[in-house]
Structure 1
Amino acid sequence: MSEAALLEQKVKELEAQLEQKEALLHSRAQRISTLEELIKQFNRKQFSASSEKLSQDQLALGLFNEAESTDEDEAAETESTDSEPEDTVEVPAHQRRRKPRVSLPSHLPREEVLYELSESERVCPHDGTELKAIGTEDHEQLEIIPAQAKVIVHRRQKYVCPCCEQHHATAPKPKQPIEKSIAGPGMLAYVATQKYCDALPLYRQSEIFKRAGLELDRTNLANWMIRCGELAQPLINLLHEKLLEQPVIHLDETTVQVLNEPGKSAESQSYMWVMGSFSASPAVLFHYADSRRQSVPLDLLDESVGAIMVDGYEGYEKACQQYNITRIGCWAHARRKLMDAKAVQKKGKTGKADQGLAFIQKLYALEKAIKGQPPDERYRRRQQEAQPVIDKLRAWLEKSLPQVPPQTAIGKALHYLHTQWHRLVRYLDDGAYPIDNNRAENAIRPFTVGRKNWLFANSQAGAKASANLYSLIETAKANGLNPYEYLKTVFKELPNAQSVEAIDTLLPWNVSTNPNWS
């Protein structure tokens, strides 16, 4: 081989090595960029506001800058300019609103304190005539009396025959929520409301009771809540049956730690599932399970269910296939991933995240406009106005997906849109279908707030009781009832309910017709 050929071969080898090094450097650069994005995302979740709302400045940058008007090479982020957008949005002028004065409810008891002039002051300084009262100048002041406790003594009158003194009789007493316990229905409702509605752990309640002179151990309070959860089970079963009759059911799940579970370590995670319907008679049902397996939604659902609104978790798919259930995807999850991608963009620049958010915001603007309208009208408006936006979004997605690295934040967001697309667009098929699963997330939020305070459940019985009591409280709230008054009624009436019809009257949407309702 000639010297020139040797040199040419050497050059090719060096070029190949250079290409390998360049490819390695490019791969490392992408890896560094991905890690930097992750750091930004962690910092944002830890320290930034969690709101997903877009400001008016963000709307001006991206909302109406349609993706189909961009060039093919707009895969990278571009600096924002002052050029006119294709569409315009009118921002209403700011108006300062005066906050109304706080009015005190008329049903609160009033205690009057009358202030009068002294005898010497009731004389006119000009002519000495005695002054005449012509009315009062009133000022109402709110005063709070701390929780007061009282003891109810249940006296069962005993009788005996005065002749033979052989026949004895004792007046019956209504069944109590916990027989032979010192806790009455109001006490149990108070503790349950404090924990499951106001996120106040039992050990703190125990300290509060001590300040009132009541020595109530946390273990006693916990046992009471478990017994109340067991007492409510027939009502929970009926609530579940009513829920399965609804046209659309929302589902979601979150973690819960249960210390004493058979075959599991104390550090392992279990799950609290929530299913809800928010139509005419809203219902929310919590369900404890020791796993996130697909067998859980299989147990919760059945053939009567028409459609479910869920996130992208694949554990719901088997139930949908077995029961022939329509699965609707959540646009809020798709938007959230685009918001995460937008958060890691460089300041002052717009990119593909803004383009995707522009389309989704148009879908939500339509949903806001048709909120409260009948399903047939919502279906018509969606087909007329949302379908064209969906078509444009699909075309933009197919063009953009190959242009972004899959491990980046925007790559993950677009991949989620792509894989969930057939579920996301299902909400167009029926005007009764929701666009997202926010109602379920809002329903499960009180549980997540409480979990930050009480941290874990000690036993499976405690977790099941918590699920039942959360179900009653959140369903009562969804129906506009006072949770304490509702639980008090349930704990008083349910022990004496001897039929399904009697239990049915205790469902939140029926309880107002109950003659014993407070």
Structure 2
Amino acid sequence: MTLPRQSQAALPADLADVRRKLEQLAAEQRVPELIELVLGLLIQLRDKNTALSAKLASALRELYGRKSQKLSTEQLMLLFGELGAEAPQGTADPSPSPQPGQGVVPQPSEPPKPPRGRGGRAPLPAHLPRETRVVPVPEEERTCPQCGAEKKCIGHRTSEVLEFVPAQFRVIEEQREKLACPRCPEQGVTTADSEKVMDRGRPGPGLLASIIVEKFEDSMPLYRQAQQYARFGVSLSPSTLGDWSAFALDVLAPVAERIEERVLGSCYLRADDTGMRVLDRDHPAGVKRGHIWAFVGADLVAFLYAPDWRAKHPAELLQSFTGYLQGDGYAGYGAMLRGDDRGEAIVPEERRLGCGMHIRAKFEKAAKGGDARAAVALSYFKAIYRIEAACKDEALSAEARWTRRQELSLALVDELYQWVHELHLGLVPGTPLYVATQYAINQEAAWRRCFTEGRFEIDNGEVERQLRRVALGRKNYLFAGSDKGAQRLAIGYTIFGSCRMHGANPLAWATDVIGRLQAGWPRKRLDELLPDAWASSARTAPTAGDPDAT
């Protein structure tokens, strides 16, 4: 049976060619070849439809769904129920029962969940200022209704009220003393130096610190800060606040540079980046996509701005780096060369470490897309991370953590990758589970390297947490006004990210350090102002006669 001529003419060119081929095979009675051709076309369409459906579901989940990667044991059991299988051997409880003489340290199978129900009130912090307010009994109730005698005070019933006293601006009038000799007028007048931190501006160190803390820690754009100050009766334009913020960051730039030196000079470095919209008059769209790189090392974090995503920018920073670098599957790491284009690789493959969070995230994405087979990988990750959590809870040394990983973790990693390699061969290319297994295979050697030393983490989680602050701020202020503005953003995230790592109060730190730097703090003693040292010990500012003062 042939189609009417109109139907044939309406066919697209590619389908018309297919039709002619099928008619040729049918005319030649080559039925097996015709069937194989039709089946091949159907398989291609099915695979393409499966991949597109998965991409659509993934896009909808990214737009509306939950972002957390955490999956409870109950969720994993539901996924295994869809598979009609039980959890893989060894993943429900990562710790085998210790045998006599083996010295295996048992691990908790699951941290206990807090009991549900209303808990008691947490006590108010003891450091808060307190005042006592005596509330008297009303006058009409101070006499006994039975005998008419006046009641005596036998004590007080005490309760606490937590009150908030709004912040307030304060004007400090600086009167600098002037001295002159009444007998020697030719000697002129001696005037005390100003203690202002900004020569041609009026903000004090506390106000400068508040502006940058609210922007970088609280992600509050400058125009919102101007609105907030207006409620206190002080009119400050966003442009003025911008000038003051830039001044404060320029003052703190030497501290950020020293943090960068410490971080990039460490032997174990963790890195990742995130995009940043930057206004650019030379760009056809008027705005370009820059990148903020985050590097964690030496218990500090350094943020650095790059105008694009090319590998030459991190390569310029890492020219003297000779340690281990941990990151995701960014191809630019392998393209970073020392010196010119003919130089050696800055971070060769044997010194690159993978990230378990990036591998797990792709399986988690496949599971949320409805592929229950991803639950197998997630169960292994859950067991491995439970061992890591126990190591941190017990505050194990690097050597002890390495031993624990050899005893418990490596067997799980081996089982996980055996399952990944077997499953990958039968998956449809382009589906989320195929992408997850392919990424896991590509990162296998780098991730296994994380287990070779106890000082290495098995993921890049600290960098990811630091970059969240950048992402939150980006949603509020939307873009940087220029490359210079983006560089100042990197300074702010560097100093306050490092404060956060060591629990230093960012407002107290910035107020103190701005004042000290503007008072002539010696540059060779910058390490004493870094957040880790500042949080652990008290320092004194150099006196006027200190020979180290600059």
Deviation per CA, 1:184-210: give whole Å up to 9, x if none: 111111111111111111111111112
Residue 317 of structure 1, CA deviation: 2.1
SS, match of residue 34 in structure 1:
helix
The code of the aligned residue for 2:400 comes to E
1:340-489 mapped onto 2 (5 Å cutoff): 340-345=365-370, 350-351=372-373, 353-371=374-392, 372-489=395-512
Whether the 8 Å contact between 1:160 and 1:166 is mirrored in structure 2 is no
Give the secondary structure class of the aligned counterpart of 2:74.
helix
- Check conservation: 1:303, 1:324, Cα contact below 8 A: no
Higher alpha-carbon deviation: 450-459 or 491-500: 491-500
Q: What is the distance in 1 between the residues matched to 2:251 and 2:423?
A: 56
Q: Which amino acid aligns with 2:242?
A: A
Q: Does 1:182 align with 2:192?
A: no
SS at 1:308's partner residue? strand
Whether the 8 Å contact between 2:25 and 2:33 is mirrored in structure 1 is no
| Superposition deviation, residue 8 in structure 1 | 10
Distance 2:88 2:275 in 1: 44
In structure 1, distance between residues paired with 2:47 and 2:452: 40
Q: Could you tell me how far apart the structure 2 residues matched to 1:502 and 1:480 are? A: 21
1:50/1:98 CA distance change after superposition, 3 Å:
same
2: distance between equivalents of 1:480 and 1:84? 40
**Counterparts of 2:540 and 2:522, CA distance in 1:** 17
Cα 1:227–1:94 change in 2 (3 A) is: closer
How far the C-alpha of 1:375 sits from its partner, in A, is 0.5
Q: Which residue of 1 aligns with 2:268?
A: 248
For residue 138 of structure 1, report the CA deviation from its aligned partner.
2.1
Structure 1 residue 417: deviation in Å? 0.8
Q: Does 1:275 align with 2:307?
A: no
Q: What TM-score, normalized by structure 1, do the two folds share?
A: 0.87
Which range is displaced more, 50-59 or 190-199? Answer: 50-59
* Alignment-mate amino acid for residue 354 of structure 1: A
More displaced stretch, 202-211 vs 494-503: 494-503
1:252-281 Cα offsets, whole Å, 9 max, x none, are 10010111365674232001111113x6xx
Which of residues 306, 328, 353 is equivalent to 1:311?
328
Q: Deviations over 1:209-257 (max 9, x none)?
A: 1222211111111111222222212111111122234342221100101
CA distance in 2, matches of 1:84, 1:230: 56
Partner of 2:99: none
Shift of 1:11: 4.8
Question: CA distance change for structure 1 residues 117 and 338 in 2, over 3 Å: closer, same or farther?
Answer: closer
Tell me the equivalent position of 2:225: 205
Of structures 1 and 2, the one with the larger relative CO (CA 8 A, separation 6+) is: 1
The 3-state SS of whatever aligns with 2:464 is: helix
Contact 2:88 2:376 in 1 (8 A): no
Q: Is the 8 A contact 1:177 1:231 kept in 2?
A: no
Distance change (3 Å), C-alpha of 1:93 and 1:513: closer
Partner of 2:538: 513
Partner of 1:234: 254
Give the letter for the 1:336 counterpart. A
Question: Does the 8 Å contact 1:225/1:465 carry over to 2?
Answer: no
Which amino acid counterpart does residue 376 of structure 2 have in structure 1? Q
Aligned letter for 1:190? S
Q: What do the CA deviations read for 1:288-333 (whole angstroms, capped 9, x no partner)?
A: 1101111222222244542122111011224486335621100110
Identity percentage of aligned residues: 29
Pair 111,365 (structure 1): closer, same or farther in 2 beyond 3 Å? closer
Q: How many positions carry a matched residue from both structures?
A: 490
Q: CA deviation at 1:485?
A: 0.9
Confirm whether residue 330 of structure 1 aligns to residue 386 of structure 2.
no
**C-alpha separation in 1, matches of 2:171 and 2:352:** 53
Q: Which amino acid aligns with 1:335?
A: R
The corresponding residue for 2:305 is 288
Deviations 1:451-473 (A, max 9, x none): 10110011222111111111111
| Structure 2 residue matching 1:28: 3-state secondary structure | helix
**Residue 198 (structure 2) pairs with residue 163 (structure 1):** no
1:355 is matched by which residue type in structure 2?
V
1:196 maps to 216
Correspondence 1:33-48 to 2 at 5 A:
33-48=50-65
Q: What SS class does the counterpart of residue 422 from structure 1 fall into?
A: helix
Corresponding residue SS for 2:179? strand
Partner-residue secondary structure (3-state), 1:492: helix
Q: Residue type matched to 1:114 in 2?
A: V
Q: CA RMSD in A?
A: 2.6
Report the AA paired with residue 361 of structure 1: K
| CA distance, structure 2, for counterparts of residue 150 and residue 215 of structure 1 | 14
Pairwise CA distance, 1:419: 1.1
Report the CA distance shift for 1:248/1:382 in structure 2 as closer, same or farther (over 3 A). Answer: same
CA contact (8 A) 2:429 2:435 kept: yes
Give the match for residue 259 of structure 1.
279
TM-score of the superposition, structure 2-length normalised?
0.83
CA contact (8 A) 1:201 1:454 kept: yes
Would the aligned equivalents of 1:489 and 1:516 in 2 still touch at CA under 8 Å?
no
Q: 2:37 and 2:466 mapped to 1: Cα distance?
A: 53
Q: Is the 8 A contact 2:359 2:439 kept in 1?
A: yes
- Code of the aligned partner of 1:80: L
**Cα displacement string for residues 472-497 of structure 1 (whole angstroms, at most 9, x for unaligned residues):** 11111111111111111121111234
- Runs of at least 5 residues in structure 2 that lack an aligned partner in the other structure: 1-23, 94-108, 338-343, 543-550
Q: CA deviation at 1:128?
A: 4.2
* Worse-matched range after superposition: 109-118 or 331-340: 109-118
CA 1:244–1:475 in structure 2 vs 1: closer, same or farther (change >3 Å)? same
SS of 2:481's equivalent?
strand
The 3-state SS of whatever aligns with 1:252 is: strand
Q: Are 2:314 and 1:297 equivalent residues in the alignment?
A: yes
Distance in 2 separating the partners of 1:253 and 1:508: 23
